Structure 1
Amino acid sequence: MAPKRVGIVGYGHLGKFLTKAVQERPDLELAFVWNRTTSVLHGEVEGRYICENLENCSQFSPDLIVEVSHPIISEKYGPMFLNTADYLVGSPTALASQPVEDALRAAATSHGLYVPAGAFWGAEDILKMADRGTLKGLKVTMKKHPSCFKFEGELKAKNEQICGSEAVTLYDGPVRGLCPLAPNNVNTMAAAAMAGHNLGFDVVQGCLVSDPKLTDWHIVEVEVTGPQIAGRNFTVKTTRNNPADPGAVTGSATYGSFLSSVVRAGGRGPGVHLC
């Protein structure tokens, strides 16, 4: 079987890691790399792999296009990507915009739209519950050091005002309202909203806690509520401790997890898939 040709959109920390990892695996082959600032790529990526303009990405014959840049990429280029290849949306907070989600779902007719589970533990089981309509509640709580958050608007000011050692809850409500305020931090929550599709972005809950004491970890808690059985609700709660230094937006374990998603993505046909 020929290796899967992967195009990488974005060359930050995760994009660099993926570019190197893809070239080291026999089951993957680098198709192209794009970055908003092309000069960053010169000297680090062979010229034959550099895509100067995303409008021309089909010329590199990718089997899978992987976005690890910014949510705006899916809005601007997602449907075009899906006309070319399978598409893995590495910034699923983009899907909190209903028009963007609708456009990508509509475009996923000949290729698949893939959403990485990332730090969302139990994603496949929750997807099965959503498919059966038995998922009744889903909440994701993320706890990080204040320096690990990258916010927009009101949350940025609220986080900057934290002093002392006490944890502060910055947001507790529907995931749809949180994604535009923290597009780089809550991709796990967006993945949860896609997995729990019978609830969606308006019903799946997200909670962000800024904790100055968390100098070594990113903590992700997932609370699942299922149907009543003999008068009692089925519930599951998981806690994931991801090693991370202060200032790190992405935890250490995320890199390997994302590479696994790249390996799993593709070949499942049209529609939306978790990976």
Structure 2
Amino acid sequence: MATDASTLRIGVVGYGHLGVFLVEKILRDGPRLGLILSFVWNRNPDKLKGSVPAELILKDLSSFADRRSDVIVEVCHPHIVRKFGVHFLSQSHLMVGSPSALSDPDLNQKLCQASLQHANTLYVPSGALWGGQDIQRMNDSGTLKALFIRMSKHPSCFRLTGDILTDWTEGEGRRVLFSGSVAELCPLAPNNVNTMAAAAVAAGTLGFTGVRGEIVSDTKLRDYHVVEVEVTGPDGFSVNTVRRNPANLGAVTGTATYNSFWNSLLTCKGHGGRVYLC
């Protein structure tokens, strides 16, 4: 429960680059915005020492409920969503930073049921997705006919489960790594395609199977990621957007996405126990 009517207690699960950013923002700016940290967990707790106040470090994630959070923010790996997502929703709202986990239809259904049962909202941040709310409105009105997303990055920025990119060489140029349904793509690149997963949530009638995605390795993209979205509606309606997201070499997440994620967190104040794109 919140400490008072205007304060939200935030638990952060994961302390990679995005987790560090969020924890620092909450500690610095949270109090004046009505946010305070309830705990921070990381797979390697030693990484938290000296950076996070000792009383906020949670060593055993299974004891998260003892910290009585209003919102739990997952920013680590889809595995944590699979293992703890339903439990998190039984106690608090949940913002899923790894929505690629929702490509598993069984898990997706269980999380939606838990959200409804416990009246806690499953928040899905838009991340690098431009126009997510517009896509959702088209979906809800029945006018969304097709959705395609292409994500192009320097090969050092991909974290793939297979070995399809182990042989890249600097200067090789552009290579299409995968093109197909987002449902098939999420297990291949679970840390890279959360933007596509958010789009699949927005486009609920198409879902993860109906939304098409493509990932492209391009050694020319040394300073930014490129996200292209093609939306198709009825009677020849279409919208194409191109977003260039500044990013360092080797970075999974573009720098602009950090602020997008923070702005999403500021909206997590309860929306009736449902799935909510924020």
Q: Compute the TM-score of the two structures, normalised by the length of structure 1.
A: 0.95
Counterpart of 1:140 in structure 2 is 149
Which whole-Å CA distance do the structure 2 matches of 1:147 and 1:154 have between them? Answer: 13
Which whole-Å CA distance do the structure 1 matches of 2:71 and 2:171 have between them? Answer: 46
Amino acid at match of 1:243: P
Counterpart of 1:118 in structure 2 is 127
Deviation at 1:191, TM superposition (A): 0.4
Deviation at 1:174, TM superposition (A): 0.3
Which whole-Å CA distance do the structure 2 matches of 1:179 and 1:40 have between them? Answer: 28
1:207 maps to 2:214: yes
Which whole-Å CA distance do the structure 2 matches of 1:44 and 1:213 have between them? Answer: 35
Residues 270 and 144 from structure 1, CA distance in 2 versus in 1: closer, same or farther, beyond 3 angstroms?
A: same
RMSD of equivalent CA atoms:
1.2
- Report if aligned partners of 2:16, 2:76 keep a CA contact under 8 Å in 1: yes
Deviation at 1:164, TM superposition (A): 3.5
Amino acid at match of 1:2: S
- Report if aligned partners of 1:155, 1:181 keep a CA contact under 8 Å in 2: no
Partner SS state of residue 270, structure 1: coil
Runs of 4+ with deviation above 4 angstroms: none
1:14 maps to 2:5: no
- Report if aligned partners of 1:10, 1:69 keep a CA contact under 8 Å in 2: yes
Amino acid at match of 1:271: R
- Report if aligned partners of 2:155, 2:168 keep a CA contact under 8 Å in 1: no
- Report if aligned partners of 2:155, 2:165 keep a CA contact under 8 Å in 1: no
Unpaired runs of 5+ residues, structure 1, are none
- Report if aligned partners of 1:167, 1:209 keep a CA contact under 8 Å in 2: yes
What's the % identity of the aligned pairs?
Answer: 49
Unpaired runs of 5+ residues, structure 2, are none
Say how many residue pairs are matched.
Answer: 269
Partner SS state of residue 147, structure 2: strand
Question: Structure 2 residue aligned with 1:34, among 26, 38, 41?
Answer: 41
Deviations 1:193-240 (A, max 9, x none): 110000001010001111111111100000000112xxxx11000110
Which whole-Å CA distance do the structure 2 matches of 1:70 and 1:248 have between them? Answer: 15
Which whole-Å CA distance do the structure 2 matches of 1:196 and 1:162 have between them? Answer: 36
Amino acid at match of 1:274: L
1:131 maps to 2:135: no
Counterpart of 1:227 in structure 2 is 234
